Amino acid sequence: MVSFLYSTALVAILSISSIQANNDAWNQDLQKTCGTNMPAHSHYARKVLDGTPAHYNESPWSVGVYIPDHENKTVYSTATLISDRHILTYDWIFLTNVSNEIRYRSDLSAPDEWTCSRNDPHMVLPINQKRQVAVFADILHADRLSGRKQLEVGKVKIINGCVKPHTMNRVAIITLKHPITAQEKARPVCVGSDEVTKNEFGFYGFGDNRGEVLDARLRYTELHGVPCPNPSHETFCVKSKEPLCNGDFGGAAVKKMGDKMKAIGIYIDGPYECAKADKNTVYTFANLTSIAGQICDRTGVCPKYLSEKITTTRTTHPTAVVTTTTLPPFTLAGSITGAPTEVPHSPGDIGGDHAEGDGIPYTGTSVPGPNATNDPRDTTNDPKVNCVVDDDDDIHIHIKLGKFRETGNEEDIQVIRRGPKKRAQKI
């Protein structure tokens, strides 16, 4: 019996190792191809409202995200493709602020008590909210979707969405259920850069989304870096040659570096009404180089400059790996240039569409017995294991995968043996 349990544990670990290897290979291929074969914007294009029109396949990383609001009016925003199934946008498309309280935009309901009860700083939209989200790629007009394939959404996660106070203006990650295919004619841009760069960027966005659409065509404008009113490692600020509008949130500040197009920031804060913006308006972007570690953790999209900065330490017993990523500072005029930030680093999501964020309370993960618990916050990450040993000579093997599901790091798999004589130890 013991041999069988050890064999089962070994098979589980080997299977997970195989998945992780596939995930690493996928990311390596992505880093070779992201941002390549993308034409530069033509400066001789005719002007339209708030910029110049983008041409077909000029910005294949730009996608449209749509959601109905509480009045059943569809609002949309720009989003940025960073892999064949991961998209970056911003939290305001899904959330809104009502009397200083965070509400879901689609129905003005408040997040329930389980949304942020799992010791995870990132907010996952419950399944009923996720179903409201529509994504379309390969579009030049945000209001012309006839004949376009809707991309099915698997998960929406807001980075640090459970960290209070929630001031909004945070990056959100959309994970698609199925990878984008060649049919969609969309290609991912690279995430961030550790190269020193001039503070000049290009930007593509869909413009005004207030219902009375003035011009929903994807268009291009130029940005240049300026000091931020409130400097931060995780943001930088720009002025724009043409005003940015509410439908531009979630779009990327991009720069061609060598043969690759790289997204340096995501537009997260600025005037909501286009008419309130002018050439002196300052816009805030999330610094993708600074938060690349968090994106890597949640998606498996890990730029090469992260792996080059990894330092690993090991303990002798039990075997454990502690990995940290020292992020190179990417700074613009007026931003903080202090010490680089250290964040936990591990490969991203490798599993399927599990129960996370479903809006359904967990019923506990412990083995049934007199000490079992139904506390919805009791997951397999809990340091105790409620495993019942019926006899002094029994040996029970408990494989804990809760933390691994989040990190994708096989060192987070815990195999715990209980017995004989009710002794418990990690193996």
Q: pLDDT tens digit string along 76-111?
A: 899 999 999 999 999 989 998 888 888 999 999 988
Please count the residues of the chain.
427
Most confident of the following: 25-39, 263-277, 287-301: 287-301
User: Is the pLDDT assigned to residue 349 strictly greater than 50?
Assistant: no
Q: What residue spans define the domains of the chain? A: 2-20+362-426, 40-287
Query: What was the pLDDT predicted at 406?
Result: 60
pLDDT computed for residue 371 by the predictor: 39
Q: Which of 229-238, 257-266, 307-316 has the lowest mean pLDDT?
A: 307-316
How does pLDDT run across 164-187, given as a tens digit for each residue?
Answer: 877 778 899 999 999 998 877 889
- pLDDT, tens digit, for every residue of 132-170? 999 988 777 776 776 678 899 999 999 998 888 777 788
Give pLDDT, residue 12. Answer: 47
Q: What is the pLDDT of residue 321?
A: 38
Distance from C-alpha of 237 to C-alpha of 391, rounded to nearest angstrom: 65
Question: pLDDT tens for residues 238-261?
Answer: 999 988 988 899 999 999 998 999
Q: Give the model's pLDDT for residue 173.
A: 97
Measured torsion, CA atoms of residues 427, 404, 322, 123, in degrees rounded to the nearest 10: -150
Q: In the CATH hierarchy, which fold is given to the domain comprising 40-287? A: Thrombin, subunit H (2.40.10)
pLDDT score of 308: 60
Q: What does the pLDDT read at residue 159?
A: 92
What is the residue-averaged pLDDT of the chain?
72
Q: What is the dihedral of CA 82, 83, 85, 88, to 10 degrees?
A: -10
Rg (CA), the chain: 23
